[in-house]
Structure 1
Protein backbone atom coordinates (compact mmCIF):
# COMPACT_ATOMS: atom_id res chain seq x y z
CA UNK A 1 0.00 0.00 0.00
CA UNK A 2 1.40 3.40 -1.00
CA UNK A 3 0.33 6.89 0.05
CA UNK A 4 -0.54 9.13 -2.90
CA UNK A 5 -1.34 12.39 -1.05
CA UNK A 6 -2.26 13.82 2.32
CA UNK A 7 -4.68 16.72 2.60
CA UNK A 8 -5.91 18.75 5.59
CA UNK A 9 -9.65 19.38 5.79
CA UNK A 10 -10.86 22.65 7.28
CA UNK A 11 -14.43 22.67 8.59
CA UNK A 12 -15.98 26.02 7.80
CA UNK A 13 -19.14 27.76 6.68
CA UNK A 14 -16.94 30.46 5.08
CA UNK A 15 -16.22 28.57 1.86
CA UNK A 16 -16.08 31.56 -0.54
CA UNK A 17 -13.92 33.50 1.92
CA UNK A 18 -11.60 30.50 2.29
CA UNK A 19 -11.31 30.21 -1.51
CA UNK A 20 -10.28 33.87 -1.68
CA UNK A 21 -7.90 33.62 1.29
CA UNK A 22 -6.02 30.55 0.05
CA UNK A 23 -6.11 32.00 -3.46
CA UNK A 24 -3.82 34.73 -2.16
CA UNK A 25 -1.26 31.96 -1.55
CA UNK A 26 -1.67 30.59 -5.09
CA UNK A 27 -4.27 27.86 -4.53
CA UNK A 28 -6.98 27.33 -7.15
CA UNK A 29 -10.30 25.48 -6.90
CA UNK A 30 -10.07 22.02 -8.46
CA UNK A 31 -13.24 20.42 -7.05
CA UNK A 32 -16.47 21.69 -5.54
CA UNK A 33 -19.36 19.42 -4.54
CA UNK A 34 -21.19 22.14 -2.60
CA UNK A 35 -20.41 20.59 0.79
CA UNK A 36 -16.67 20.17 0.13
CA UNK A 37 -14.30 22.26 -1.98
CA UNK A 38 -10.71 21.31 -2.77
CA UNK A 39 -8.01 23.82 -3.64
CA UNK A 40 -4.68 22.85 -5.20
CA UNK A 41 -1.40 24.54 -6.01
CA UNK A 42 -1.09 24.60 -9.82
CA UNK A 43 2.68 24.07 -9.69
CA UNK A 44 2.31 21.10 -7.31
CA UNK A 45 -1.17 19.60 -7.86
CA UNK A 46 -0.87 17.11 -4.97
CA UNK A 47 -0.49 20.06 -2.55
CA UNK A 48 -4.14 20.48 -1.58
CA UNK A 49 -6.47 21.86 1.08
CA UNK A 50 -10.16 21.02 1.39
CA UNK A 51 -12.81 23.19 3.01
CA UNK A 52 -15.91 21.33 4.19
CA UNK A 53 -19.21 22.44 5.68
CA UNK A 54 -19.99 18.87 6.78
CA UNK A 55 -19.58 15.40 5.35
CA UNK A 56 -22.35 14.31 2.97
CA UNK A 57 -22.58 10.64 3.94
CA UNK A 58 -20.75 10.18 7.25
CA UNK A 59 -21.85 10.90 10.83
CA UNK A 60 -18.65 12.91 11.50
CA UNK A 61 -16.46 15.21 9.44
CA UNK A 62 -12.82 14.18 8.96
CA UNK A 63 -9.84 16.31 9.91
CA UNK A 64 -7.67 15.09 7.05
CA UNK A 65 -7.65 12.79 4.04
CA UNK A 66 -5.02 10.26 3.09
CA UNK A 67 -5.29 8.86 -0.42
CA UNK A 68 -3.76 5.41 -0.80
CA UNK A 69 -3.41 3.10 -3.78
CA UNK A 70 -5.29 0.25 -2.06
CA UNK A 71 -7.99 1.34 0.38
CA UNK A 72 -9.13 -2.24 1.00
CA UNK A 73 -5.64 -3.16 2.24
CA UNK A 74 -5.55 -0.03 4.42
CA UNK A 75 -8.94 -0.93 5.90
CA UNK A 76 -7.77 -4.47 6.69
CA UNK A 77 -4.60 -3.16 8.39
CA UNK A 78 -6.59 -0.67 10.50
CA UNK A 79 -9.17 -3.26 11.54
CA UNK A 80 -6.46 -5.77 12.46
CA UNK A 81 -4.70 -3.12 14.55
CA UNK A 82 -7.84 -2.49 16.60
CA UNK A 83 -8.09 1.15 15.50
CA UNK A 84 -11.52 2.73 15.88
CA UNK A 85 -13.35 2.75 12.53
CA UNK A 86 -15.81 5.64 12.72
CA UNK A 87 -17.25 5.31 9.20
CA UNK A 88 -17.28 1.94 7.39
CA UNK A 89 -15.55 1.16 4.12
CA UNK A 90 -17.91 2.05 1.28
CA UNK A 91 -18.12 3.29 -2.29
CA UNK A 92 -19.31 6.89 -2.60
CA UNK A 93 -21.32 8.33 -5.48
CA UNK A 94 -18.59 10.88 -6.26
CA UNK A 95 -16.10 8.19 -7.28
CA UNK A 96 -14.13 7.28 -4.17
CA UNK A 97 -14.01 4.23 -1.92
CA UNK A 98 -13.29 5.28 1.66
CA UNK A 99 -13.51 4.76 5.40
CA UNK A 100 -12.82 6.94 8.45
CA UNK A 101 -10.54 5.93 11.29
CA UNK A 102 -9.68 7.76 14.52
CA UNK A 103 -5.97 8.36 15.14
CA UNK A 104 -4.37 8.19 18.61
CA UNK A 105 -4.84 11.95 19.14
CA UNK A 106 -8.56 11.70 18.41
CA UNK A 107 -8.44 13.13 14.88
CA UNK A 108 -10.68 11.55 12.24
CA UNK A 109 -8.82 10.45 9.13
CA UNK A 110 -10.60 9.85 5.79
CA UNK A 111 -8.67 7.06 4.05
CA UNK A 112 -9.60 6.76 0.38
CA UNK A 113 -8.82 5.55 -3.13
CA UNK A 114 -10.35 6.82 -6.34
CA UNK A 115 -12.27 4.18 -8.29
Structure 2
Protein backbone atom coordinates (compact mmCIF):
# COMPACT_ATOMS: atom_id res chain seq x y z
CA UNK A 1 0.00 0.00 0.00
CA UNK A 2 1.27 3.48 -0.89
CA UNK A 3 0.48 6.77 0.86
CA UNK A 4 -0.35 9.44 -1.71
CA UNK A 5 -0.77 12.43 0.63
CA UNK A 6 -1.50 13.47 4.19
CA UNK A 7 -3.76 16.47 4.83
CA UNK A 8 -4.39 18.12 8.21
CA UNK A 9 -8.09 18.84 8.79
CA UNK A 10 -8.78 21.99 10.80
CA UNK A 11 -12.21 22.28 12.37
CA UNK A 12 -13.25 25.83 11.49
CA UNK A 13 -16.21 28.11 10.92
CA UNK A 14 -13.88 30.69 9.33
CA UNK A 15 -13.52 29.31 5.78
CA UNK A 16 -13.28 32.59 3.86
CA UNK A 17 -10.89 34.08 6.41
CA UNK A 18 -8.74 30.94 6.34
CA UNK A 19 -8.64 30.99 2.52
CA UNK A 20 -7.49 34.62 2.60
CA UNK A 21 -4.89 34.06 5.31
CA UNK A 22 -3.37 30.91 3.80
CA UNK A 23 -3.48 32.59 0.39
CA UNK A 24 -0.83 34.92 1.77
CA UNK A 25 1.38 31.84 2.15
CA UNK A 26 0.82 30.62 -1.42
CA UNK A 27 -2.21 28.33 -0.96
CA UNK A 28 -5.11 28.29 -3.42
CA UNK A 29 -8.59 26.78 -3.09
CA UNK A 30 -8.76 23.46 -4.93
CA UNK A 31 -12.01 22.07 -3.49
CA UNK A 32 -15.01 23.55 -1.71
CA UNK A 33 -18.08 21.44 -0.89
CA UNK A 34 -19.54 24.04 1.44
CA UNK A 35 -18.79 22.07 4.60
CA UNK A 36 -15.15 21.30 3.69
CA UNK A 37 -12.65 23.44 1.79
CA UNK A 38 -9.19 22.29 0.72
CA UNK A 39 -6.33 24.61 -0.09
CA UNK A 40 -3.18 23.49 -1.92
CA UNK A 41 0.19 24.93 -2.76
CA UNK A 42 0.42 26.10 -6.36
CA UNK A 43 4.01 24.81 -6.54
CA UNK A 44 3.35 21.44 -4.84
CA UNK A 45 -0.30 20.31 -5.21
CA UNK A 46 0.18 17.51 -2.64
CA UNK A 47 0.89 20.12 0.07
CA UNK A 48 -2.64 20.72 1.33
CA UNK A 49 -4.72 21.80 4.30
CA UNK A 50 -8.47 21.37 4.75
CA UNK A 51 -10.94 23.37 6.83
CA UNK A 52 -14.28 21.88 7.81
CA UNK A 53 -17.21 22.94 9.92
CA UNK A 54 -18.50 19.38 10.38
CA UNK A 55 -18.17 16.18 8.41
CA UNK A 56 -21.38 15.84 6.44
CA UNK A 57 -21.64 12.04 6.47
CA UNK A 58 -19.69 10.97 9.56
CA UNK A 59 -20.31 11.25 13.29
CA UNK A 60 -17.05 13.12 14.03
CA UNK A 61 -14.70 15.54 12.31
CA UNK A 62 -11.38 13.82 11.50
CA UNK A 63 -8.09 15.34 12.61
CA UNK A 64 -6.25 14.39 9.44
CA UNK A 65 -6.76 12.60 6.15
CA UNK A 66 -4.46 10.00 4.66
CA UNK A 67 -4.99 9.14 1.00
CA UNK A 68 -3.79 5.67 0.05
CA UNK A 69 -3.71 3.77 -3.23
CA UNK A 70 -5.75 0.84 -1.83
CA UNK A 71 -8.27 1.87 0.81
CA UNK A 72 -9.74 -1.64 1.02
CA UNK A 73 -6.34 -3.10 1.92
CA UNK A 74 -5.85 -0.35 4.50
CA UNK A 75 -9.26 -1.10 6.00
CA UNK A 76 -8.47 -4.81 6.23
CA UNK A 77 -5.09 -4.13 7.89
CA UNK A 78 -6.59 -1.71 10.41
CA UNK A 79 -9.47 -4.06 11.30
CA UNK A 80 -7.06 -6.97 11.71
CA UNK A 81 -4.95 -4.86 14.09
CA UNK A 82 -7.93 -4.32 16.38
CA UNK A 83 -7.83 -0.51 16.09
CA UNK A 84 -11.13 1.28 16.71
CA UNK A 85 -13.08 1.93 13.52
CA UNK A 86 -14.89 5.23 14.15
CA UNK A 87 -16.74 5.38 10.81
CA UNK A 88 -17.20 2.34 8.55
CA UNK A 89 -15.81 1.93 5.06
CA UNK A 90 -18.17 3.50 2.54
CA UNK A 91 -18.35 5.19 -0.84
CA UNK A 92 -19.12 8.90 -0.72
CA UNK A 93 -21.04 10.88 -3.34
CA UNK A 94 -18.05 13.19 -3.96
CA UNK A 95 -15.95 10.35 -5.37
CA UNK A 96 -14.00 8.92 -2.44
CA UNK A 97 -14.12 5.62 -0.60
CA UNK A 98 -13.20 6.12 3.05
CA UNK A 99 -13.30 5.07 6.69
CA UNK A 100 -12.24 6.66 9.98
CA UNK A 101 -9.98 5.01 12.54
CA UNK A 102 -8.72 6.20 15.93
CA UNK A 103 -4.92 6.27 16.24
CA UNK A 104 -2.99 5.46 19.47
CA UNK A 105 -3.05 9.19 20.38
CA UNK A 106 -6.83 9.38 20.22
CA UNK A 107 -6.82 11.27 16.91
CA UNK A 108 -9.38 10.38 14.27
CA UNK A 109 -7.82 9.57 10.89
CA UNK A 110 -9.85 9.71 7.67
CA UNK A 111 -8.32 7.04 5.42
CA UNK A 112 -9.44 7.47 1.82
CA UNK A 113 -8.92 6.58 -1.79
CA UNK A 114 -10.35 8.23 -4.88
CA UNK A 115 -12.59 6.09 -7.06
Q: CA deviation at 1:105?
A: 0.5
| Residue in structure 2 matched with residue 22 of structure 1 by the alignment | 22
User: Structure 1: where are the runs of 5+ without partners?
Assistant: none
* Residues in 2 aligned to 1:108 and 1:23: alpha-carbon distance in whole angstroms: 27
The within-5 A match list for 1:93-112 is 93-112=93-112
- 4+ long deviations beyond 6 Å: none
| Residue in structure 2 matched with residue 78 of structure 1 by the alignment | 78
Q: CA deviation at 1:85?
A: 0.3
Once superposed, what is the RMSD of the aligned Cα atoms?
Answer: 0.3
Where 1:46 maps in the other structure, the secondary structure is coil
User: Structure 2: where are the runs of 5+ without partners?
Assistant: none
Q: CA deviation at 1:50?
A: 0.2
Q: CA deviation at 1:99?
A: 0.1
The within-5 A match list for 1:1-115 is 1-115=1-115
